Each structure stands twice: as structure tokens, then as C-alpha cells.
Amino acid sequence: MTQYWLILPPIDAGMPQSEHYQITIIGFEKALATAITGVMDLFRMAGVTWARIHDEQPEPRFSVTLATADGGPCHCVNGVSLMAGSRWDAAPPADLMIIPTIGGDIDETLNANRALLPLLRRWHDEGRDLASNCTGAFLLGEAGLLDGREATTHWGYSGLFRERYPEVDLCPHRLITADDNVFCAGGGMAWLDLGLFLVERYCGVDTARALARAFVMDMGRESQAAYGSIHARRYHQDEAISAVQDWLAEHLAESIRMDELAERFHMTPRTFKRRFRNATGDTPLRYLQQLRVEKAKKLLEQPHRRLSEITRAVGYEDTSAFSRLFHARTGMTPGAYRSRFLPSKPPG
């Protein structure tokens, strides 16, 4: 495989700096390259790009170091190799440690990086900020640093995450979680949002807004729910609840009473609610609502479907009420969702 070597020198060395912060990015085999290089670009250009655009003196606000287990290159999942500046255990004292996205197999990555876990715990005990992007949260979870905390990860891995780390208060609909000095970002490119969030934390809102404008980015996105899938809640071993989920998927347009559903599957309402929540992380009613929202998403991607028709197809009569539910679950109105996700041209 072709290897590309990327060396990142300091930006504008020697320039006057105030309130300067040190960031260490934790590199490992098959990390997602953009979640490393993108974060480096974002932090290193804080206080720089906007100043240059306006012919002002740049004032870099962050120094960024990439660290790996042995100080050697970080071989990313896309074949790019990034030169590291330090070993994990010899990284310069940092205000913030960032774990990028796991681009390879999660189990293999966790097993291959066991030596990182005590270091994460030590850095946490030293009071350093810790942040993860996307599936990088699995390394924080494996270190036990998310137990009892709010966290998020890629929506597609939320079921697996809950199965591995049941003590974590997982919020897969959230784009960013902040619990004390531990921060998590959701799926994919959420490192952009996390980066802006952390720039604001350290440097204030004006610097973060200037950086967002320079990078032509929106500030303030809060949810990855519009991209999520109900299938993420099928990682469990309760066969009876799996049967309930199958039945709900087939009958979601019908009028459904939860006490009658419990009786259908030979459970008391109390037992049914408890087992369903233990298996899926949600109540039966909220799960049904989300199932209906998922179905509505698919129908909204068909341009000939009217909203009133879609509303009835997913078990509701009141279009306004369903629109409010849809917005609450996705952060978007049905119309906004259709505008964003409608195919540019009909298939075929």
C-alpha cells in the first residue's frame, strides 16, 4: 500500500502568543485520518486565519502534538501515515487530550491499545480535559472514564456501546456531550463541532465564531438524530423484546396500546416496560414514536408523498402534532428534512 507522509511544522513560530494551550491527539493504528488532521488544522488556525483575512497580526492560540504508542508514525485507516511528535507517555503536558475516530475494527483496536487505558486514567486524575470523536468514545468507555457520565458516539454503534458500557448515560441523539472535563462528539465529521465547542471553551465565543466564519462552518449544531437509525437498538439478547420490536415494525401504523401489547407477549405492563428499557435503553412508547419517525424519513425522501399522507401512513391523524414530534426527534421539521435529504433526481 502506498504511504503518504505528512509532517506538520509549527505555524508562525515566534509570533506573540497569549493564553496559549497545548493539545495532544492520541494516534493509533487505523485511526480516521481526517479526525486527526482536521482537528489539527482547526485548532492551529484559531486566531490565525481570520486575522490573516483581515490583514491583522495572527495570534495562534493552540499548539498541537500527535502522539503514538512508540512515537513512530500513525498509520491511518486510509493508508496515510502521519509523523508523530511524541510517545503517549512522553507527550508534553497538555490542557486537552483528544481521541480520534476508530476507523478499523473496534474490538481489535481496543485490544491493541490496552497500554493506553491507564494513561487515560492518569491524565484524567491529573485534571486534564479528555475528548473523543465518534467511535473514539469506546476507548474512554474501556478505561472506565465514562461510567456515570453523559456521553455520545456514532449513532450506528450506540447499541454496541450500551452493551459494552451499561453504566454510561449514553445520549446517541446528541452531537456533543460535556460532563465535567470529559467531552464526546457524535458520528463522522462531528469533530468540527467538537473543535469549535472546545475553542469556545478555551478562548471564548468571539474566537470560536471567527474560526467558524473562516472555515465557512455553522456553529451550534446540537443533534445527529436526523442521521440516526432505530436499528442501532437491536444489540441485545432478549428474544421476547426482539419479537416485540419485529411486531411493532410491522404494525407501526396501527393504534397501539402498550398494556395490550404487554398482554400480547405474555408480560405484565410493569415487567414489559422494565425489560424493554433494559434491552433498548428506551421506553416502549418512545421506541414506537422513533420507529414511526424513521418510517416517515423514508417516505419524505419520496417527492410525490404529501405530508398528510405520510402522517397517516405512520399512525397519526394530526399533521401538526406529528410535525412537532418529528422536530423533537430529529431537530428538523419534515419540510427541512425533505429539503436536505431528497435525492437530487429520481432513481432510474
Note the pLDDT tens digit of each residue in 305-329.
899 999 999 999 999 999 998 888 7
pLDDT the model gives residue 60: 74
Cβ neighbors of 263 (< 8 A, separation 6 or more) are: none
Give the separation between CA 319 and CA 322, rounded to whole angstroms. Answer: 5
pLDDT the model gives residue 63: 86
Give the separation between CA 135 and CA 137, rounded to whole angstroms. Answer: 5
Cβ neighbors of 150 (< 8 A, separation 6 or more) are: 169, 170, 171, 174, 177, 178, 179
pLDDT the model gives residue 233: 54
pLDDT the model gives residue 192: 83
Which residues does the chain have with pLDDT short of 70? 1-18, 47-56, 58, 214-236, 341-348
pLDDT the model gives residue 7: 40
| Locus of grid cell 414506537 | 288
